[in-house]
A and B are shown apart, each in its own frame.
Chain A
Amino acid sequence: MAELVSHPDEVRVVSSRFGLGATNIDRFLQLDGYQAVKKALTMQPEVIINEVKTSGLRGRGGAGFNAGLKWSFVPKQSAKPKYILCNGDESEPGTCKDRLIFEQDPHSVIEGVIIAGLAVGAHAGYIYLRGEYRYLSEIMQRAIADAYQRGFLGKNIFGSGFDFDVHWHGGAGAYEVGEESALMESLEGKRGVPRIRPPFPAVVGLWGGPTVINNAETLASIPPIILKGAEWYASLGTPKNGGTRLFCLSGHIMKPGVYELPMGYNLAKMIYQVGGGIPNGRKLKAVVPGGSSCPLLTAEEIDVPMDFDALMKVGSMLGSGGVVIVDDSTCMVKFALRIMKFYQHESCGWCIPCREGTDWLKKTLTRFHRGGGLRKDIDNIQYLSENMLGRTFCPLGDAAALPTISIVKKFRQEFEDHLDGRPCPFEKSPAVEELPVLA
């Protein structure tokens, strides 16, 4: 069980049942469980979709697309069955929020899946959990079985005449599968290689049927919206950024943890008040605002409201809510290398700019960090990264390029400090990895 934290500024919507034993279905029912599904069963599908649209709920996986709008793309009539797919393949470095939702409140996700099904006219939903989260799959399977046993799932749910099935599905270790089309490939029993779009999943998805794919946190946000109304939810956040979100504070921070804060919460406040500041008397150097694929912010750029649009304005992204704090003892060349090593490992290899780009960047950064870098490499790193942008079928190429470009631009001096065979100024010993030094 992961440790829970709290702060007075928190607004608990998705995390309202955390720590209250809500994995138990009776306890969940005491805490307003399945009330939202009952209410949704009395609502017209268009009304549900409109509620979600006006609530301003945007995709919590990282893309930040309006959830209601996404649902509205599903055609009303379809020859093939429609599906709801919950993306719980959480693997963006810095992000560990969905894990808490599944661990503390699995039924809230099931509820969200059912309501999404009612909205688009689907009769089956899948909850995909990453393979490493084995203990959560046990919790989820139990929750699904309990819901079936009570008649909340299966034929004629809540005596409404509506049939809805929910199944659990597990991965086996692959970051790329968190991308929506790769997720569907994986669920169909294949390698997690993305699909070419269009057609988009809302039209042609799982087994060719229209499919709604939402992040676990997005789906867990649906029941409160249905119960308390779109206006209430929208009013918690900033314009066009409704509600709250789970922010995962990690790295060089006094009180790391998952905090639920209103959209638009100030980043500086998040670091210094909620997170308690930087430990060991160190100074802030950089912040990864929303998982490793987002451009980094410098210490001077943190006076910013944490919502999708504000982060876009300062040249970054809100991403998946993984806020990684980096202090001034950290070598940014090494940090860039660690990020690139990850993307090189996770690239599925389909698109050449991503497969070759991440590999060359990893090699160049490795050599650079151990003192074998050339001045022209600095521009080359940026050039290579920029050439990956927008040239791949899925966002993994961009995800590798964006943080790298931001590090080269904002911390160029640190690259220069590694030139001429000088050892890394932040380390006593050179980097572990060995690669030949090229002339």
Chain B
Amino acid sequence: MRFSDQFEQRFSAMLTHYPTKRSVLVPTLLFAQDETGFLSDEVIAEIASRLELTELDVRNVISYYSMLTTKPRGKFNVQVCTNIACVLRGGEELLKRCAQKLGIGHKGTTPDGLFSLEEVECIGACCWAPAVQVNYDFHENLTPEKMDQVLEEYRRQGRR
């Protein structure tokens, strides 16, 4: 199991920040997932052994956090917020538009593995609603037309 040098640097630095090893678990899982796409059995086993935890401990934590996943997702995870501030300004229309354009529903992945779609809870972009996060990038003040352009831009990036 190999992670990037940046991961290793961050991981060993973080271990020095806390009195217990286990404390690095949540951010470490997210950093690992960023590199591997999802938390596979192999990744879980590796992190468990590094932190002297059982795999069950690690899985127990993974299942709690909505950003962590044990299943592969598309290269671009399109997360559409439909919580109160977004729903009032067209969040549901954005979700519908994405579903049409991508041909997938909530938690679906396109056959080419490029896109996943997720309806998410408040992402902290209420004043710039409706908003979407693609992986970690915020796209705000969207309309269905602007949403099309955002998806098109990612499709172009994905082909490269």
- Which residues of A are interface residues toward B (Cβ below 8 A)? 2-3, 5, 81, 90-96, 98-99, 130-135, 165, 167, 169-175, 186-192, 207, 248-252, 256-258, 288, 292, 322, 324-327, 330, 335, 338-339, 342, 345-346, 348, 432
Q: Which residues of B contact A189 (CB under 8 A)?
A: 20, 22-26, 51, 61
10 interchain pairs (CB within 8 A)? A93-B121, A93-B122, A95-B126, A130-B124, A132-B133, A135-B137, A189-B24, A189-B51, A251-B88, A256-B127
Which stretch (B63-71, B142-150, B151-159) binds chain A?
B63-71
Residue of B whose beta carbon sits closest to that of A279: B89
The answer to whether B124 touches A174 (Cβ under 8 A) is: no
Q: Does B44 contact A (CB under 8 A)?
A: no
Contact across chains for A173 and B122 when beta carbons are under 8 A apart = no
B84 touching A172, Cβ below 8 Å: no
Chain B contributes a number of interface residues (CB within 8 A of A) equal to 43
- Candidates B60, B65, B126; contact of A172 at CB < 8 Å: B65
Check A192/B128 contact, CB under 8 A, given A93-B84, A187-B23, A207-B19: no
Cα-based distance from A324 to B25 in the complex (angstroms): 35
Task: Tell me whether A338 and B83 are in contact in the complex, defined as CB-CB below 8 angstroms, given that A174-B65, A326-B88 are known contacts.
Answer: yes
B140: shortest Cβ distance to chain A, in Å? 7
List the A residue with the shortest CB-CB distance to B34.
A134
CA A188 – CA B25 in complex, angstroms? 8
Contact B129 A250 (CB under 8 A): yes
Partner of A258, one of B18, B22, B121, B127: B127
Q: In the assembled complex, which residues on chain B have CB atoms less than 8 Å from the CB atom of A249?
A: 127
Query: Is the pair A135, B23 in contact by a Cβ cutoff of 8 Å?
Result: no
Closest A-chain residue to B25, C-beta based? A189
CB pair A250–B26 under 8 Å, yes or no, is: no
The CA-CA distance from A189 to B133 in the complex, in Å, is 25
C-alpha gap A187/B28 in the complex (Å):
12
Q: Is the CB of B67 within 8 A of A132?
A: yes
Q: How far in angstroms is the closest Cβ of chain B from A168? A: 8
State in angstroms the CA–CA spacing of A133 and B67 once bound together: 12
| A257 close to B127 (CB less than 8 A) | yes
Least CB distance from A326 to B in Å reads 7
A-chain residues with CB within 8 Å of residue B126 when the two chains form the complex: 93-96, 248, 250, 256, 322, 324
A165 to B16, CA, bound (A): 11
Q: Nearest 4 pairs between A and B by C-beta? A: A189-B25, A173-B67, A172-B65, A173-B66
Q: Give chain B residues whose Cβ lies under 8 Å from the Cβ of A172.
A: 26-27, 29-30, 65-68
Q: Across the two chains, which residue of chain A brings its CB closest to B95?
A: A432
The listed residue with most A CB atoms (<10 A of its CB), out of B51, B60, B65, is B65
* Contact call A170/B68, Cβ cutoff below 8 A: no
